[in-house]
Each structure stands twice: as structure tokens, then as C-alpha cells.
């Protein structure tokens, strides 16, 4: 069970490699080389243990080039379990599940540590059965229930209604890989450019102009597909606009419902309503 190191340039070495020691100009070190390089140089350390991986990293300094190399290793090995240790937090060991979940968890840790997104995205669940009667989402929810969730491609606009159709996204869980693929999207989203909306069909739901928002939203869709039940959230997010940085705050209510067609394909149909009265920011 030898330990491997991925350098800040994405190069792979055994931790005891003489070449690595020469490159670091440390000869035969009298200190913990693995801990030093992970803590200070942005390296990643890992061991393969049967069908599992053990990882050590420091989210605040880890090289994103090293991350890309790690993700390639994980995709090739496809470990069933990944144990991640944050070297800056002694005793902080996290069993994160399989390799795909590990990639998402690492992305989240690094984004929070390096890109300041820890407080960018908030959501709070609500009961869709308690929507106000004059809320467009209530009408959408009612039409969906009347049909028992059976919605063909040509029925989407009618089920949503003219107010919500411009702010809808329809997502399909693709087989056999489980990727969540956008099948249709409206053009009324303030955070998306017209060109993105026009070309979004066929992209995965996490492939959005704001990388981290896409990853976060992807997790919410993944949970919705797992439960196959309507989901209503209040959302309070700060997203990136091209050339402006992370500065655009958007507050909205979003309803997601599972729909199925005669061919048996399951999709999630979501629509949202802007609502500036929503405030999920933590108060000082």
C-alpha cells in the first residue's frame, strides 16, 4: 500500500521516489514529506486499498491541476469507497462514498476554501401543497397533479402556463450513465445569456455559466430524481455574471416535479418565480 503524490503540476510520484526528493532538494528527508507537500505545496496524497482510495489534501492550497489528475485516477480506478482526510484539520476524516460522490465533495470543499462560495447558495424547502392560490407555481402544481405526472413533450407549455414557460428547465436522467441532461429550457432566466439558453439542450444540468452554481444545482436535481416527488424551494443565490464576478443576487421560488411519458422516460420539470422578499442570508 504505497503512498502516491500528485504534484502541483499534475505529475504522479511514489512518496519515496528519489526523483521527487531531488526535485524538492530535500535528499533523504528527516520530516514527514507527504504532510509537508500536501500542507504547503498543494500536492495530493493517496493510497489504493483494494476497492477503496484513501486521500489526503488541503483544500485551501490544493492545486487545481493536481485535482484534475486525481479525478482522472479516480475515473480509471472507479473505487467503491473513498476516505478523505483534510490535512489542515486533524481527525477530520470523511467517508464520502464512491468515486463520483468523492469528486463532488472535493469540489465543494475546494470551492468554499479557495473561491469564496461557502455562503453564495442557500435554499429552504417548502410544502408545495401550501402555495398561495394566486401563485403561478400553484397552477402548475395543480395541472401536474390532474395528469398524474403524465406529460408528453407537446404538453409541457400547457402544463406550465405562459407565465412559467419562459422560466422552465426540463431535465432527463440519461441511461446508462445517469447523467442529467437538459432537454428544454426557457429564455427568461436573468442569470443566463440568450446564447446559453438557446444552446443548452443536450448539456448536463451542472454545465452552466457559473461552474459552482451548476454543481450545486446538480445536487438538488440528483436528490429530486432519487426521491421522484415534487420539491419546492425558496432560493437565495449569488451567481457569477461574465466579466462582473460573483455579485448578482437572485431570489426565487422553484418547483420541480417528476414527469413521465408513454415511452417510460422519467424527467424533472422545473419552473421558478422571482421573489425579492426571500432572504436566506445569515444575519449578523
> pLDDT of 258-269, one tens digit each?
999 998 889 999
| Predicted confidence band of residue 81 (pLDDT cuts 50, 70, 90) | very high
What integer is the mean pLDDT of 167-196?
Answer: 88
pLDDT, position 241: 65
Give the predicted TM-score (pTM) of the model: 0.69
In the predicted model, what is the mean pLDDT of residues 194-223?
A: 88
Instruction: Determine the 3-state secondary structure of 100 from DSSP.
Output: helix
- E-strand stretches of the chain: 4-6, 12-14, 44-49, 52-57, 81-86, 93-95, 121-126, 168-173, 180-185, 231-241, 245-260, 266-274
pLDDT given for residue 225 in this prediction: 95
Q: Which three cell numbers stand for residue 89?
A: 484539520
Query: What is the average pLDDT across 8-28?
Result: 83
Query: By percentage, how much of the chain surpasses pLDDT 90?
Result: 57
Q: How confident is the model at residue 212 (pLDDT cuts 50, 70, 90)?
A: confident
Q: Pairing between strand 81-86 and 52-57?
A: parallel
What pLDDT, in 10s, does the model give residues 101-131? 899 889 888 888 887 777 789 999 999 999 9
Mean pLDDT, the chain, integer: 89
pLDDT over 70 for what percent of the chain? Answer: 93
Which pLDDT band, with edges at 50, 70 and 90, does 145 fall under?
A: very high
Lowest-pLDDT choice from 137-141, 155-159, 210-214: 210-214
> CA torsion, points 37, 41, 42, 48, in degrees to nearest 10?
-20
pLDDT for the residue 28: 63
Domain ranges within the chain, ordered by starting residue: 4-114, 121-274
Q: Does the pLDDT value for residue 199 go beyond 80?
A: yes
Q: Any idea what the Cα angle at residue 179 is, between residues 178 and 184, rounded to 5°? A: 125
Q: State residue 284's pLDDT score.
A: 38
CATH architecture under which domain 121-274 falls: 2-Layer Sandwich (3.30)
- pLDDT class of 246 with cuts at 50, 70, 90: low
User: Rounded to 5 degrees, what are φ and ψ at 270?
Assistant: -125, 150
Amino acid at each position: 500500500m504505497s503512498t502516491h503524490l500528485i504534484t502541483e503540476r499534475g505529475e504522479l510520484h511514489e512518496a519515496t521516489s528519489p526523483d521527487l526528493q531531488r526535485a524538492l532538494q530535500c535528499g533523504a528527508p528527516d520530516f514527514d514529506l507527504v504532510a509537508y507537500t500536501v500542507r504547503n505545496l498543494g500536492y495530493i496524497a493517496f493510497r489504493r486499498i483494494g476497492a477503496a482510495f484513501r486521500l489526503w489534501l488541503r483544500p485551501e492550497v490544493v492545486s487545481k491541476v493536481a485535482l484534475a489528475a486525481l479525478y482522472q485516477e479516480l475515473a480509471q480506478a472507479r473505487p467503491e469507497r473513498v476516505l478523505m482526510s483534510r490535512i489542515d484539520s486533524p481527525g477530520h476524516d470523511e467517508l464520502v462514498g464512491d468515486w463520483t460522490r468523492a469528486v463532488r465533495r472535493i469540489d465543494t470543499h475546494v470551492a468554499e476554501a479557495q473561491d469564496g462560495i461557502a455562503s453564495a447558495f442557500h435554499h429552504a424547502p417548502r410544502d408545495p401543497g401550501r402555495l398561495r392560490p394566486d401563485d403561478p407555481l400553484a397552477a402548475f402544481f395543480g395541472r401536474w397533479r390532474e395528469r398524474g405526472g403524465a406529460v408528453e413533450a407537446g404538453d409541457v407549455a400547457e402544463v406550465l402556463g405562459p407565465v412559467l414557460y419562459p422560466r422552465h428547465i426540463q431535465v432527463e436522467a440519461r441511461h446508462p450513465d445517469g447523467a442529467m441532461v437538459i432537454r428544454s429550457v426557457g429564455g427568461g432566466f436573468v442569470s443566463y445569456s440568450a446564447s446559453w439558453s438557446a444552446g443548452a439542450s443536450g448539456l448536463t444540468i451542472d454545465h452552466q455559466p457559473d461552474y459552482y452554481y451548476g454543481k450545486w444545482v446538480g445536487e438538488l436535481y440528483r436528490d429530486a430524481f432519487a426521491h421522484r416527488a415534487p420539491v419546492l424551494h425558496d432560493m437565495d443565490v449569488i451567481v457569477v455574471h461574465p466579466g462582473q464576478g460573483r455579485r448578482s443576487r437572485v431570489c426565487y421560488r422553484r418547483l420541480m416535479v417528476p414527469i413521465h411519458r408513454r415511452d417510460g422516460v422519467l424527467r424533472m420539470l422545473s419552473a421558478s418565480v422571482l421573489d425579492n422578499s426571500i432572504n436566506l442570508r445569515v444575519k449578523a
